[in-house]
Amino acid sequence: MTLPFHLRHAVASDLDAILELERATDLAPHWPPAAYADILETISPQRCLFIAVKDSSLAGFAVGLLHSPASNRIAELESVAVSANSRRTGIGRALCRAVLDWSRAGGASEVILEVRANSAAAIALYSSLGFTLSARRPRYYRDPEDDALLLRMVLQ
């Protein structure tokens, strides 16, 4: 089956589109442009940035991080954003799976993430992938105020 989008590692020329999508996604973590530029310019086995391309346009992206030490390594799904017109098409799931596969290949034994408690669609996606609740941080987020849910998945 051919997907209506394809995934790949982001490159420096994708930066403007990544920033545009991130800024258009209200509940996405809003990092400084330099943070994305650093990921794209620094070849590192500790960070990944995958993008989904649909009809020659950026439809979504996901960022992953491998924490040290290498023994009993924990990975983090730091950010996932999908354009409003591409949601519920499998792009978010595919991006998450790409980061999970990358984490597994990097030696991670588990993946963690943090999500707003009011992000029902994101929580449903993460739960369907096998993430479970490990903790809650009351009133962690601002604008709007919300709790943070810490989710965890043990990799097989």
Determine the straight-line distance between the first and last CA of the chain, rounded to whole angstroms. Answer: 26
pLDDT at 74: 95
Type of residue found at 46: Q
pLDDT at 72: 74
**Confidence class for position 28, pLDDT limits 50, 70, 90:** confident
Domain range 6-116, CATH class: alpha beta
Polymer length of the chain: 156
**What are the tens digits of pLDDT across the range 58-88?**
999 999 999 977 667 899 999 999 999 999 8
For the chain, what percent of residues have pLDDT higher than 70? 96
CA dihedral 31, 75, 147, 85 (to 10 degrees): 60
Answer yes or no: is pLDDT of 1 > 60. no
**What are the tens digits of pLDDT across the range 39-50?**
998 878 899 999
Type of residue found at 5: F
pLDDT at 71: 65
Contacts of 25 (CB under 8 A, 6+ apart): 81, 82, 83, 84
pLDDT at 61: 97
SS3 state at 119: coil
pLDDT at 143: 79
Residues with catalytic annotation? 114, 126
